Amino acid sequence: MTSIEAGIDVALAKQVLEAALLSTTEPVSNAVLRRLFEPDIGADMICRLLTDLQQDWHGRSAELVRLASGWRFQTRADLQLYLDRLKETRAPRYSRAVLETLAIIVYRQPVTRGDIEDIRGVTVSSQIVKLLETRGWIDTIGHRDTPGRPALYATTKQFLDDLGLRSLSELPPLAELEGVLDLVDTAEAASSTPAEQPEPSGTAGGQQVTQ
C-alpha cells in the first residue's frame, strides 16, 4: 500500500487507527473506526488499513486480532504463561456443572432450560444460568412457542470475544471438550474451594493490552 492513495495519507491513517485501538481494551467495529475520518474513507479502505496494520504488528509481543465485535490489540497467547506470574491471586475456576451447561448452550443453541436439563439429566441451578448471564456469555434471544413460553438461550458476541474467536465455526469439536471436563473433575476432587463464581474480565486467547 502506497503512502498516499486516493488522497489518503495512509501512514497517518494507520497511526490514527493504531492509537484508537490502543486506547481501549474493548473490540472496536469497522463502522466505529470509520468515524475517525472525515470525509469517510470507506469500508474497503478501513479493511485494507487494518490488515496492513495487523501485518506491521506480526511477531511482536502484542497483536491486532479481529474478533466477533471488531478489532482489538491483545498480548500473544504464548506469552500469557509469563504474564500470569504477575497476578497476585489465581483466577477462579468454573465447576463441571457450569461448563456442561455452557457447552450445551454453545453447541445446541438456541436452547431452553428444559432442553439443558434433558441433556444433562439433572436440574439446572438458577445460579448457573445467572452466572453465565452476568458474565455476558449467554443471553435470552426469545421464547419458545410452547406452554409457559420458556426462554431461549444463546451465546453472545462477548463470549466469542473472550475466547478470541470471530464466529462459532472456530470452536473445537464437541468431542474435544470431554478431556477438558475430565480435568475439571480432577481439579474439583483435589480442591474444596467453591468453583461456581465469576471469572475476571479478559480473554481466553490472550491478555488485553491495557494502558
**What pLDDT does 201 receive?**
39
Q: In this predicted structure, what is the pLDDT of residue 1?
A: 58
pLDDT at position 94 is 84
Assign 100 to helix, strand or coil: helix
How high is the mean pLDDT in each 10-residue block of the chain (211 residues)?
Answer: 69 96 95 94 94 95 95 93 83 83 94 94 93 95 94 95 90 73 56 47 43 37
Inter-CA distances, 167 with 4, 19, 67, 176, Å: 34, 26, 8, 18
* Angstrom distance (rounded) from CA 73 to CA 121: 41
Residue 179: the pLDDT is 61
pLDDT at residue 209 in the model: 45
Alpha helices by DSSP H, the chain: 10-22, 30-34, 43-56, 80-83, 96-108, 113-120, 126-134, 157-162, 177-190
Q: Give the separation between CA 198 and CA 134, rounded to whole angstroms.
A: 8
Strand partners, 153: 111, 140
pTM: 0.69
pLDDT at 177: 67
